Amino acid sequence: MDAITRRRLVMLLPLGAAAAAGGGFWGLLMRMQEGSYDPHTLPSMLVGKPLPTFALPGLPPSAGFSNLDVIAPGRPALVNFFASWCIPCIEEAPTLMQLKNQGVPIWGIAYKDKPDATAAFLQQHGDPYVRVACDEPGRVAINFGLYGVPETYVVDPHGTVRLRWAGGLSDAIVHDKIAPLLKSAAQ
Amino acid sequence: MTPELGHFALALAVAIAAAQAVLPLMGAHNRDARMMAAAPALAVGQLIALLTSFGCLVWSGVVNDFSVFNVAENSSSTEPLFYRITGTWGDHEGSILLWCLILACCGGAVAAFGRNLPASLRARVIGVLGFTSAGFLLYTLTVSNPFLRVWPPPIDGRNINPLLQDPGLAMHPPVLYSGYVGFAIPFAFAVAALLEGRVDAAWGRWVRPWTLAAWCLLTGGIALGSWWAYYELGWGGFWFWDPVENASLLPWLAGTALLHSAIVVEKREALKTWTILLAIGTFSLSLCGTFMVRSGILNSVHSFASDPTRGVFILALLAIVIGGSLQLFALRAPVLAASGIFAPVSREGALVLNNILLCSICAVVLTGTTYPLIAALLFNVALSVGPPYFHLTVVPLLVPLFAAMSVGPTLPWKRADLLPALTRLWWAAAIAALVGIAAEAGLGRAFAAGGFAAAAWLITGAFAELVERVRLFRVPLSVTRARIAAQPLSVWGAAVAHAGLGVTVAGIAGMSLATSTIVAVTPGATIRLGGYDWTLLAMHDAPGPDYTARVADLRVTRDGRQVALFHPSRRTFTEQKQTISDTAIQTNLVRDLYAVIGDERNGQVVLRLHVNYLAPWIWLGALVMAAGGGLSLADRRLRVGAPARRPVATVPA
Amino acid sequence: MSRSATALAVLLALAGPAWAVSDPGEMLANPVLEQRAEAIGNQLRCLVCQNESVEQSDADLARDLRRIIRQRVVAGQSNQQIIAWMTARYGDFIRLRPPFEGRTLVLWGAPVIALAVGAGVVLLARRRRPDAPPPLSAAERQRLMQLLD
């Protein structure tokens, strides 16, 4: 290879690097459009791992529940963190009620909420939960890797977390992501 | 009516820009003098059209025309007039229009001030600018139109984020964009030179003033943004290595390398390939920064509406502009004429080292900023890269850079002896060492001591070249005085700019010594911090145009004498239900007293107090750097014609 | 994402940094331990605002994490252990200082790689440049003088 050709190849390197970068950006843009990439959401560390150990008190006079209670029935279930001060939680309430009507067990954990406020919230917007627990200090939530409310975790019959959805649930999200998982986990 | 006029003017600008892209380039290719002469007129025409369009948008905001969707979303009648005007560029559409306006100003500037350029070069430069303009204007007109209407118009607008209602932040985008977009001109010069097939000393002389102007503005813009973050956001810091901050730093680093490279092209006709590549690269980094911020693929505070479809359009635009210019580079650069020879140790050698170090820092910052994207794409994992990474990787590269900065300008061209050059700087080294030792002994903090020593080295070394040229202490004082008067402004400019960097480094070193405390106190209590007594006198309410505020009266005394009486506050904006803290700062230019108030509970107020040493020097240093650039710009030699090229034979119309 | 949701997200994100005054009761009595806790906090990203460290942010979650850090520092855990505890729950994303592992080799090696590439380019360019011709010998100089006359 003579000197001029070698020089030409070297001069093509910046273009090559730019093309690679452009391809990468395009790939990310496509993923953003289809929803598989979102720079602001965190992937959960719990996916594929067992439910963290916890035991929380309930809304008096009811009892709370522990991780064992969630696994005991041997069916796929949802664990939903919510709070009375959280607006998207109000927005997702109808979707949760619909899931409850379809027979999906939803275990609710009130995050950093006063029991009175939680009770009022449930009375006003409906109670889709099998049982409600109160995590006032918020430590159990940190063990889940929670970084905002609401968050919903899909747990399979063996107690392994399959999915974490951060943000409010909508019918579309349930249809696309949650329902298929619940079905496959039941088998 | 006004929005329609603005919309029409925008469409007109697209058409003119398209003409501006095609005609001059064709004219230069066919040596048609008339087509080439059309270039300045088209550039000015585009500028007038865009001024009209932008003016209409500003007017719509001022008169509260809420039928314009952009105004309804981002402005409101309760907003003060100044912020109704500056809010025009507070959102995505308005800021892109501002971007286009500044790009058109670049074309207009070349038309107005580029009269000493040969016709074909000027035509090509304006043509390339027109091409870029046309792309961005098309984007604005189709996907990002600020003149879209909403019917029926809402009664009042939704008001912009209260954090944006601040004079510093209002002026930050225009200055910053002028810097970003200003580098389009050196870019156009580089592409024009590649099209002509010739890069020579004259080209180096012509490209330098434009690069300087853009660099000064970008320096100012970055400093303004950092200063705003310091006094408004209230966390006591000034730089978080956030992706959008890095997006402005990258073109600055490349632009600084370009500035210095262009000197070598001008003086010695060497480093041509590198300079051309840097010119293309700097503007490319500006464009990439725009893309990354506006497309939402990066996790950053600044992200505007993250709309992936817009991202695709901009990506296509980038592919054409950057890909096209790099393709041209690959084609034409290999046959650029062989350049001047120089020894490794020489001024050219020092500038090559400068290039390598600046480009390496640029590459590191680029890697750190984009690594979360690479990790997401290749490994499907969420990583984050923050300040600790950048401190560990950039600082080691700064050490040789600072060392070379003071030595380089004293070396002669073509060949130099290193040892005599270093020996001549003994006094700068001695002062730096003394400062470092004194700082370490007095403060016991190695990082700050090192920083102060580096600052002293930079400031004293900055004037080393001048000292050499006027032969200070080696010839009679009258001769020295005569020589000082005869020095060209660009030598002063370089000295002042390098010294400015030293001032900034000193400011950063001083900030690392800052002390702070967080306390909860009742009115009447006194806290001791940094040798001062801080007394909370009282808390009271203070309503504003669209907010209510809790204000603290804070008095600071030293040895009984009052030093400051200031009023940090917390404003609650009724409409957005958002509360922001208004930091109070009192400065005497050597130290900043900085106070933020927090929650009030049981009659107690939470206060965070800082004593920030030398903080103002960070931004004053940037101002000095920009002033140095300005001095260089004022150098007569840059305005008096460079050697005229042989006129190119033209075909009569 | 809908326009209002985006605006809200931006507002919330920007609301975070402005509330950066925390509770003085959080600070540990022992200054050495407090400094260690602050150093750890500065290495972790606040997940709510995402553009501040856990130490700077006044979000509720950041406050909780700061408390946990201080509890563990007092309990005698090492910096690595505490960061590992955080990473186990939130992933590498919470670390402002990326881990040094196979996947981040290019990241951490960036300064060295950049310098090497730069130096390599310069060296290649110098080798390509034709060397200055050797100085003329006496005989050649004489011949030159003859030709010029």
Question: Tens of pLDDT along B339-351?
Answer: 677 888 888 889 9
Spatial neighbors of C49 by CB under 8 A, at least 6 apart, are B301, C13, C16, C17, C57, C59, C62
Q: Which span out of A18-32, B176-190, B520-534 was modeled with the highest average pLDDT?
A: B176-190
Quick: pLDDT tens for B263-312. Answer: 888 888 888 888 999 999 999 999 988 777 777 777 666 655 556 677 78
Q: What is the DSSP letter of B531?
A: T
Instruction: Kindly list the residues from chain A whose CB atom is less than 8 angstroms away from the CB atom of residue B295.
Output: 25, 29
Per-residue pLDDT for B213 more than 90? yes
Q: Do B386 and C17 touch (CB under 8 A)?
A: no
The pLDDT, as a whole number, for residue B276 is 93
**pLDDT > 90 fraction of chain C, expressed in percent and rounded:** 35
CB B263 within 8 A of CB B351: yes
The tally of domains found in chain A comes to 2
Q: Do B334 and A14 touch (CB under 8 A)?
A: no
Tokens standing for B114? Answer: 């580029």
Residue of C9, C48, C88 with shortest CB distance to A147: C48
| A29 to B295: CB separation less than 8 angstroms, yes or no | yes
- The CATH number assigned to the domain holding A144 equals 3.40.30.10
Is there a cis peptide before residue B80, judged by omega within 30 degrees of 0?
Answer: no
Instruction: Assess whether pLDDT exceeds 50 at residue B453.
Output: yes
Cα→Cα distances A109→A65, A114, A169, C86, C95, Å: 9, 12, 16, 21, 27
Chains near C with 3+ CB pairs less than 8 A apart are A, B
Mean pLDDT over B372-390 rounds to 89
Residue A111 lies in a domain: yes
Residue B519 half-sphere exposure, CB side, CA atoms within 13 Å? 16
- Domain that includes residue A143, residue range: 55-186
Residue B462 pLDDT more than 50? Answer: yes
Size of interface A-C (CB pairs under 8 A): 42
In 3-state terms chain A splits into helix, strand, coil percentages (rounded to 5) of 45, 20, 35
**Residues constituting chain B:** 653
User: How far off is chain A from C113, nearest CA to CA, in Å?
Assistant: 15
Give how far the C-alpha of residue B147 lies from the chain's centroid of Cα atoms, to the nearest Å.
29
User: Angle, nearest 10°, between helix axes B92-113 and B33-62?
Assistant: 140
Q: Check whether B338 has a pLDDT greater than 70.
A: no
Residue A173 shares a structural domain with residue A83:
yes
Please name every residue paired with A55 in a beta bridge, in sequence order, or none if there are none.
A66
CB contact under 8 Å between A32 and B306, yes or no, is yes
Same domain (yes/no): A75, A32: no
- For chain C, say whether A87 makes contact (Cβ under 8 Å): no
* Contact between chains at C10 and B379 (C-beta distance less than 8 A): no
Q: A117 and A26, same structural domain?
A: no
Indicate the helix (H) or strand (E) that contains B348.
helix B347-374
Mutation target among A12, A29, A47 for the B interface, most CBs of B within 10 A: A29
- Interface check for A147 against chain C (CB to CB < 8 A): the answer is yes
Q: Are residues A170 and A105 in the same domain?
A: yes
pLDDT at B642: 47
Query: What is the reported pLDDT for B470?
Result: 81
Express as a percent the part of chain B with pLDDT over 90: 40
- Sort out which chain A residues have CB atoms less than 8 A from B330's CB and list them: 8, 11-12, 14-15
Answer yes or no: is pLDDT of B356 > 50.
Answer: yes
Highest mean pLDDT among B203-207, B387-391, C26-30: B387-391
The pLDDT of residue B398: 95
Q: Which chains touch B (3 or more CB pairs under 8 A)?
A: A, C
Closest chain A C-alpha to C4 CA, distance in angstroms: 13
Query: What's the confidence (pLDDT) of residue C132?
Result: 56
Tell me the chain B residues in contact with residue C103 when contact means C-beta distances shorter than 8 Å: 375, 379, 381, 383
**Fold entry, domain C3-99:** Helicase, Ruva Protein; domain 3 (1.10.8)
C60 contacts chain A (CB < 8 A):
yes
Pair A13, A93 in one domain: no
The predicted model scores a pTM of 0.89
Q: Which residues of A touch C50 (CB under 8 A)?
A: 40
Query: Rounded distance, CA B365 to CA B467, Å?
Result: 35
The secondary structure of chain C in percent helix, strand, coil, rounded to multiples of 5, reads 65, 5, 30
Which residue on chain B is closest to A30 by alpha carbon?
B308
The Cα–Cα gap between B4 and B10 comes to 10
Q: What is the mean pLDDT of residues A140-154?
A: 92
Q: Which residues of C fall within a CB distance of 8 Å from B236?
A: 20
Q: Quote the pLDDT of residue B501.
A: 96
- 8 Å CB contact of B379 and C103: yes
| Number of C-beta neighbours around residue B74 at 10 A | 27
Task: Delineate the domains of chain B, giving CATH numbers in brackets.
Answer: 1-165 (no CATH), 169-386 (no CATH), 390-513 (no CATH), 515-615 (2.60.98)
Write B436-443 long-range contacts (CB < 8 A, 24+). B443/B513
Q: Is the predicted pLDDT of residue B402 greater than 70, yes or no?
A: yes
Interface contact flag, B386 C15, Cβ < 8 Å: no
Interface residues from chain B to A (CB-CB < 8 Å): 273, 277, 280-281, 284, 288, 291, 295-299, 306, 308-309, 311-312, 315, 318-319, 322-323, 326-327, 329-330, 333-335, 370, 372-374, 376-377, 381-382
Question: Which of C11, C51, C61 to substitute to test the interface with A, most A CBs within 10 Å?
Answer: C61
Residue B11's pLDDT is what?
95
Q: What are the residue ranges spanned by the domains of chain C?
A: 3-99, 105-148
Say yes or no: C39 contacts chain A, CB-CB below 8 A. no
- C90 and A147: CB-CB below 8 Å? yes
Alpha-carbon distance B452 to B88, whole Å?
42
Question: What pLDDT shows up at residue B603?
Answer: 83
Do residues A32 and A72 both lie within one domain?
no
For residue C125, name the pLDDT band (cuts at 50, 70, 90).
confident
Residue of B428, B198, B225, B231 lying closest to B335 (CA atoms):
B198
**How far apart are alpha carbons B63 and C3 in whole angstroms?**
24
Nearest to B28 by CA among B278, B180, B196: B196
Q: What was the pLDDT predicted at B327?
A: 93
pLDDT tier, C98 (very low <50, low <70, confident <90, very high otherwise): very high
Q: Which of the four pLDDT bands, split at 50, 70 and 90, describes residue C12?
A: very low
Residue at A94 is within a domain: yes
pLDDT range class, residue A83, cuts 50, 70, 90: very high
A89/A4 same-domain check = no
Mean model confidence pLDDT for chain B: 87
The reply to whether A26 and A86 lie within a common domain is no
Cα→Cα distances B76→B59, B88, B575, Å: 13, 12, 11
Of A33-42, B437-446, B545-554, B567-576, the range with the lowest mean pLDDT is: A33-42
Interface test with C, best of A6, A38, A111, A142 (most C CBs within 10 A): A142
pLDDT in tens, B617-651: 999 999 999 999 999 988 866 665 545 555 555 55
d(CA A13, CA B334): 13
Contact A29, B308 (CB under 8 A): yes
Residue A12 is nearest to which of B296, B318, B330, comparing CB atoms? B330
**Sorting pLDDT into bands at 50, 70 and 90, what band is B456?**
very high
Output the CA–CA distances (angstroms, integers) from residue B366 to B251, B255, C32, in the order listed.
10, 14, 36
Compute the distance between CA of residue A108 and CA of residue A129 in angstroms, rounded to an integer. 6
Tell me the nearest-neighbour CA distance from A19 into chain B, angstroms.
7
| Beta carbons of C89 and A112 less than 8 Å apart | no
Does pLDDT of C1 surpass 70?
Answer: no
- The two tokens of residue B336 are 């650029």
Spatial separation of the C-alpha atoms in residues B209 and B552, rounded to whole Å? 49
- Judge whether residue B183 has pLDDT over 60: yes
Confidence of residue B652 (pLDDT cuts 50, 70, 90): low
The predicted-structure confidence for B466-498, as pLDDT tens digits, reads as follows 888 887 777 788 888 888 888 888 889 999 999
Residue B591 or B471, more confident: B591
Number of CB pairs, chain A paired with chain B, less than 8 A apart = 75
| C85–A contact, CB cutoff 8 A | no
With DSSP H G I counted as helix, E B as strand and the rest as coil, what are the percentages for chain B, rounded to 5? Answer: 65, 10, 25
Residue B41 structure tokens: 């007129």
**Does residue C52 register a pLDDT over 80?**
yes
pLDDT over threshold 60, residue C21:
no
Dihedral of CA atoms C66, C67, C68, C71 in degrees, nearest 10, equals: 120
Q: Mean pLDDT across the stretch C56-70? A: 88
Is A43 among the domain residues?
no
**Does B212 contact chain C (CB < 8 Å)?**
no
Q: Is B398 on the interface with C (CB under 8 A)?
A: no
| pLDDT value of position B649 | 54
Mean pLDDT score of chain A, rounded to an integer? 88
Residue A142 forms contact with C (CB below 8 Å): yes
Closest CA to B555 of B592, B519, B586, B601: B586
Residues A5 and A80 in one domain: no
Residue B143 has pLDDT above 90, yes or no: no
Name the minimum distance, in Å, from the CA of A134 to any CA of chain B.
Answer: 25
CA distance A73 to chain B (A): 34
Q: Quick one: pLDDT at residue B376?
A: 87
Name the residue among C22, C111, C129 with its Cβ closest to that of B393.
C111
Q: Is the CB of B234 less than 8 angstroms away from the CB of C50?
A: no
Work out the minimum CA distance from A122 to partner chain C, whole angstroms: 23
Test A14 with B329 for CB contact under 8 angstroms. yes
| Chain B residue with Cα closest to A3 | B334
